[in-house]
Chains A and B, each alone.
Chain A
Amino acid sequence: MTDPIETWTAELSADPDSLVFLQLGEALRRRRLLDGALAVARGGAQRYPELADAHDLLARILSDRGEGDAAFDAWTMALRLKPEMVGALKGIGFLCYRMGDFVHALRQLEAAAALVPDDPTIGVAIARVKARLEEQASGLPADPFLGTEGWHGATMLLDARGRRLAGSLLSPDGDDRSDAIAAQLTGVSREASRAAILLDLGYWQSIQVEGRSAQLVLTEPAKETVLVIQRPADTPVGRLPLIADRAGAMARRWLERMA
C-alpha cells in the first residue's frame, strides 16, 4: 500500500499550485515531522494568502513546535479571513489556556461552541477553563507555574504515590494527560534512588529524557514529590537543568504556602 505522504508529495511536486499541501502538511504534522510540515504549510500559505485553511494548518504546526506567538498570529489571520473558523477559535483558546489567560480562552471557546454546539470536545474544554477560573477566583494558588510563558500545561508537581499536586501536562493536541502521566510515574523517584545507590552514584538529582518531539525533566524538589517539566525538543539540553531549578524553587514555595 502506497504511503499517502509519498503520493501527496509527488502531486505537489508535479503541481505546486495544488491544494493537496493541506493534506500533506497535516499528515506530516500528525507524524511529528514538524520541519517538513512547516515548510509545506509556509509554502501553501504564501501561495494562497487568502485561504484561511492554509493559515490554520500553519498555526497548528507552529503550536506543535511550541511557537505560541507565531501560532497565535497565524490563527488570527485565519479568523480575519474566515471569522467562523472553529479550528482557529479553538486554537487561540488553547494558546490562551496554555498561557494561563483563562478569560480569553473561555471567550474563544464559547465563540466556537456557538458555531458548533454539538461538539463535545469544546464542552469539555470550556468546563476545564471554567474550573481554572474558579480556582483563580477562590484565591488558592492551584498552579504554581501559572503566568510563566511556556510553563502552563507543561509543568506538573506530583506526590510519590502518583497523584497530581499542581500544574498540568497537556498533549500537543491540548488534551490534559496529567493524571495518567502522574500515575505512570508512581515510584519513579524510588526507582531512581535505588539505581543511583546500586551503581554507587550517590543521590539522584534529575532524569532528563530527550525525544524527537519533546524533552522531559524529572526532579525531586521536596521529599516525596516529583516535578515533571516538558519542553519542546529544540530547547538546548544544557538549559533544562536551569529551568528545572527555577521550577523546583517555585514548587517548594508553593508547597510551603499550602502546608
Chain B
Amino acid sequence: MRQFLTETLDQLTRADGVRGALLVAAEDGLVIAEAAMDGVEAAPVAALAASLAGRLLKVAETAGQAPPALIHLEATEGGLFIAIGESGLLLVAVTTADANAGEVRLALLDGAGRLS
C-alpha cells in the first residue's frame, strides 16, 4: 500500500510545475504521505486543503449538487489543487504559476480515482 501511495505521488510530481504533492485524510487534515515538497511544509498544506475541501463539500450539498471531485485554488504565483477521492482521502498538489494546469488536473483525477 505504502509503495502504491508513493508511486501515485511520484507520478504527480512528474507533471510540469508541481512543487509538491501529498495525500491527506479529509476528516482530520493529517498527512498520510508526501513527495517532493519543495520549500513547502506539508502539515499546514494538509490542514488548509482539508478545511477548504470540507467547506466546499458542504456548499455542494446545500446547493443540491453531487460532491466535488476537484478543487483548484488559483493565485498569482501558483496554485493549490485538491482531488477528493471517494475513500475519504485528498490528493493535493502545490504548483507554480506556470504549471500545466490541464496536466496536473488530469493527473490528480486519475490518482484520486486509483485511490478510491
B66, CB-defined interface residue at 8 Å: yes
Contact between chains at B60 and A209 (CB < 8 Å): yes
A209, B45: Cβ atoms under 8 Å?
no
Q: Are B63 and A192 in contact (CB under 8 A)?
A: no
**B contact patch SS:** mixed
Contact A181:B63 (CB < 8 A) given known A188-B55, A191-B52, A194-B48: yes
Is A184 part of the binding interface, using a Cβ–Cβ cutoff of 8 Å?
yes
Contact A205 B66 (CB under 8 A): no
Contact B76 A202 (CB under 8 A): yes
Given contacts A199-B45, A211-B60, contact A172 B72 (CB under 8 A): no
Taking CB atoms, residues of chain A closer than 8 Å to B59 are 181, 184-185, 209, 216
Q: Is B32 part of the binding interface, using a Cβ–Cβ cutoff of 8 Å?
A: no
Which single member of B40, B69, B73 contacts A211 (CB below 8 Å)? B69
Q: Is the pair B62, A212 in contact by a Cβ cutoff of 8 Å?
A: no
Indicate whether B56 reaches chain A with its CB closer than 8 angstroms: yes
B70 contacts across to A, CB distance below 8 A: 208-210
Instruction: Tell me if B66 and A32 are in contact (CB < 8 A).
Output: yes
Most buried by A among B63, B69, B73, B74: B63
CB of A201 within 8 A of CB of B52, answer: no
CA of A173 to CA of B65, assembled, Å? 10
A171 touches B (CB below 8 Å): yes
A198 located at the interface, meaning its Cβ lies under 8 Å from any Cβ of chain B in the complex: yes
Is A47 in contact with chain B by the CB < 8 A criterion? no
Question: Which size class do B's interface residues fall under?
Answer: 20 to 34
Please, which residues of chain B bring their CB within 8 A of the CB of A195?
48, 52, 73, 80
| Proximity bits, B49-82, A CB within 8 Å = 1, else 0 | 0011001101110111111111111111111100
In the complex, which residues of chain A have a beta carbon less than 8 angstroms from the beta carbon of B23?
Answer: none
Q: Are B74 and A205 interface neighbours, CB within 8 A?
A: yes
Interface residue? A214 (CB, 8 A): yes
Q: Tell me which of B65, B67, B73 contacts A196 (CB under 8 A).
A: B73
B106 → chain A closest CB, angstroms: 11
Q: When the two chains form the complex, which single residue of B48, B69, B76 contacts A210, counting CB atoms closer than 8 Å?
A: B69
Q: How far is the CB of A230 from the nearest CB of chain B, in Å?
A: 7
Contacts of A181 in B (CB 8 A): 59, 62-63
In the complex, A36→B52 CA distance in Å? 32
Q: Which of B60, B79, B97 contacts A216 (CB 8 A)?
A: B60
Judging by beta carbons under 8 Å apart, are B66 and A213 in contact? yes
Q: Is the CB of B66 within 8 A of A198?
A: no
Q: Which residues of B contact A (CB under 8 A)?
A: 39-40, 44-45, 48, 51-52, 55-56, 58-60, 62-80, 94, 97, 105
6 residue pairs from A and B, CB less than 8 Å apart: A199-B45, A199-B78, A201-B76, A204-B75, A216-B56, A216-B60
Q: A residues within 8 Å of B by Cβ?
A: 32, 169, 171-173, 175, 177, 180-181, 184-185, 188, 191-192, 194-196, 198-214, 216, 230, 237, 241
